[in-house]
Chains A and B, each alone.
Chain A
Amino acid sequence: MVTYIVRRFLYSIPVLFAASVLIFFSVTVAGDPLATLKQNPLASKQTIHNIEKRNHLNDPITTQYAYWLKEAVTNKFGSPLLQPGTKIWDDLKRVIPHTLQLVVLAEVLALLVGISIGVYSAIRQYSIFDYAATTFSFLGFAMPVFWLALMLQILFTNIFIKWHVRIFYTSGLSSQNPGGGIHFWIDRLQHLAIPAMTLMLLSIAQYSRFMRASMLEVVNSDYVRTARAKGLPERKVTLKHALRNALIPVVTVSALNFGALIGGAVITESIFQLDGMGPYFLGALFNQDAYVVMAWLMVTATAVVAFNLIADVLYGYIDPRIRYD
């Protein structure tokens, strides 16, 4: 198992290297990163020249890439092009935990709920519950995220206005004086609850469908019949013999989801004004700061690779046929 993990880990190094090449070249060929600045009459020639010199922007593209990579590895992505006094990593260090809190909260709950719904739908196929779950998940798929987010905001705002009960906050990450320790985290949960619900709904819809389909495939398999034939209680047949085999496809989907969401649930985070990866990326785009965009893309790529690695390890744990050693 350990060699398996180590090997998968080593595989991800060339993948990340390839990702850095793709990211750097596709962002760089998109145009002059200083085009907007050069049109600004207030920007002096000297400033522009300094930026070009500092980031080697007039060197050949491969040389630029080498400098960028060196800066990224040794200096944690260095500074933004346009604000040389600040550090990219300081911003990333602030926004990544916020996004992680939101995504982990939403996805872990979505997995629990989605898997339960899927399993129950499959063992009670064509029951009222199954039809209701199917309808719910199609609604979940079809509903635009921004619309759901706004509806939830309106709902909880109205509850507050009408009864003066503060259940959940509708924007931001923390109150002005959240207090310390446990109070801080309760306050954070109250802020993250609605955005998490928004993300959850889509994920639940997805996971419950996947789980239902793979469960249905498994419950009619020969080994489940064997488990029944040896007289195991139905609960054990379902939760031990069927569920474990049916989980494999869901692991794939959820790992991909996790990775993609770390890149920021851009719409959700923006609507709820959470200081996470999504708004940070939008800000970098608006500022046309290529170096921040590249740093963001690199972090997202790393997250995707990391969660794929986690999925691979989980496969090996769930399905012994996948272990290579």
Chain B
Amino acid sequence: MPEPILSIRDLVVEFATEDGVVHAVDGVTYDVFPGETLGIVGESGSGKSVSQLAILGLIPQPPGRILRGEAEFEGKDLLKMSKKDLRRLRGGQVAMVFQDPMTSLNPVLKIGHQIAEAIQAHQDDVGDKAAKARTIALLELVGVPNPDRRYDQYPHEFSGGMRQRAMIAMAIANDPKLLIADEPTTALDVTIQAQILETLKTAQEESHAATILITHDLGLIAELADRVVVMYAGKVVELTDVQTLFAAPRHPYTVGLMDSLPRLTVDEEWLRPIPGQPPSLISRPPGCAFHPRCFLSQGRTRCRTEEPPLRVIGPDGHLSACHFAEELVGQSSKLIDEPVAGASS
């Protein structure tokens, strides 16, 4: 296997709030390899975005706090880097696309200026004219029509989809080696989502960047990801390649997620959601955080008392954090019956 471009080891991020300490990210470990797309799935509040924001120094501190961990990007630990070096990296070698294009662009500055500014922040020798030319080329690449005219427009003159295209153009402006897309399609209409996916693919091809795709949409994962990290309550609960994940999930939470998707091929009257609520990150359930909602646990003591470690349970380093992962082999789940089909939401 090649060297990972980003390797996160035992990352712990907390937030001090009035109600207590929120353990947003609790000992997360995974690698991202050059050129691949790593999907991170989980419910809201499972720590998927926070882990990325934290390694780039984008969480407000305080109340946020990185307790321990390493995040090596090309051999350098991002968490130990000086603020100045980290700033040079952000938007340069590591770029982000955010969830909500409606609020992620500055309303009082021109779109073109906001992109050109990203270019000039990292390439001192690029003059204003060159930056403008490059920006117009980028806007064209991500599918913004009439880029010459659009360059001088403000965000409120762009539709949601167009704004997200502009965000993507901004992200790939400096040919990043790692592109972090944080729920890039969540705030958009379904018809626009497909277009943005295409744009993201184009952007990936153009920049050859490794991509981290943060989402709660399993359809997006099936479409774009090579490997998948499933997170629950601030921890990684399953990590494997995308085919294995859909064909043979080995964590009851993953199975639950897939079961809760509607299927287009069968006439279903009811969806099957995972019972219960995601746990409070201030007081996690003891043992396995998922046990109160788990269909495998069924009151077994071990689930309540012993925290399951992330362990290899299948070929190609398939990891799962479940004491009873093996019991899922042959378990009936609508997606195990019929792998991958119906996985788009």
Contacts and interface: CB of A to CB of B under 8 A. Distances in A.
Contacts of B173: 230
B266 interface: no
A315 to B, nearest CB: 11
A223 B58 contact: no
B154 A229 contact: no
Nearest to B106: A223
A232 interface: yes
A45 interface: no
Interface stretch (A10-18, A149-157, A190-198, A317-325): A317-325
Contact of B90 (A230, A240, A244): A230
B76 interface: no
Contacts of A85: none
B122 A229 contact: no
B211 to A, nearest CB: 15
Nearest to B120: A232
Nearest to B96: A229
A233 interface: yes
A245 B109 CA distance: 10
A231 interface: yes
B117 A223 contact: no
A230 B98 contact: no
Contact of B89 (A231, A232, A321): A231
A260 interface: no
Contacts of B106: 223, 226-227, 241, 245
Interface in A152-182: none
Interface string A219-257: 011110111111111101000110011000000000000
Contact of B170 (A230, A234, A244): A230
Contacts of A230: 90-91, 95, 117-118, 121, 170, 173
B56 interface: yes
A244 B92 CA distance: 25
Contacts of A222: 98, 100, 103-104
Contacts of A228: 58, 87, 90
Given A231-B92, A231-B118, A232-B121, A223 B104 contact: yes
| Main SS at interface, chain A | helix
Contacts, number: 75
B309 interface: no
A51 to B, nearest CB: 57
A244 B96 contact: no
Interface string B106-117: 111100000001
Nearest to B103: A222
B98, B108, B118 pick with most chain A CB within 10 angstroms: B108
A293 B118 CA distance: 58
A302 to B, nearest CB: 30
Contact of A245 (B98, B107, B121, B122): B107
A74 B121 CA distance: 59
A164 B178 CA distance: 70
Nearest to A228: B58
A233 B108 contact: no
A226 B122 CA distance: 15
Interface in B287-307: none
Contacts of B89: 231
Interface in B98-145: 98, 100, 103-109, 117-118, 121-122
B156 A320 contact: yes
B202 to A, nearest CB: 20
B108 A244 contact: yes
A230 B90 CA distance: 6
B29 to A, nearest CB: 24
A319 B107 contact: yes
Contacts of B122: 231
B276 interface: no
A321 B105 contact: no
A231, A234, A319 pick with most chain B CB within 10 angstroms: A231
Nearest to B154: A320
A156 B167 CA distance: 58
Nearest to A318: B108
A230 B107 CA distance: 16
B60 interface: yes
A31 B173 CA distance: 73
Interface string A254-266: 0000000000000
B95 A223 contact: no
A232 B117 contact: yes
Contacts of A318: 108
Given A222-B100, A229-B95, A231-B118, A320 B88 contact: no
**Minimum-distance CB pairs A-B, first 9:** A231-B91, A230-B91, A230-B118, A222-B103, A231-B90, A223-B106, A222-B104, A320-B154, A229-B96
Given A222-B103, A230-B90, 8 more contacts: A223-B103, A223-B104, A223-B106, A226-B167, A228-B90, A233-B87, A244-B109, A321-B154
Interface of A: 220-223, 225-234, 236, 240-241, 244-245, 318-321
Interface of B: 56, 58, 60, 87-92, 95-96, 98, 100, 103-109, 117-118, 121-122, 154, 156, 167, 170, 173
17 contacts: A222-B100, A223-B104, A225-B104, A226-B98, A226-B167, A227-B106, A229-B90, A229-B91, A230-B91, A230-B121, A231-B90, A231-B91, A231-B121, A233-B121, A241-B109, A319-B108, A320-B108
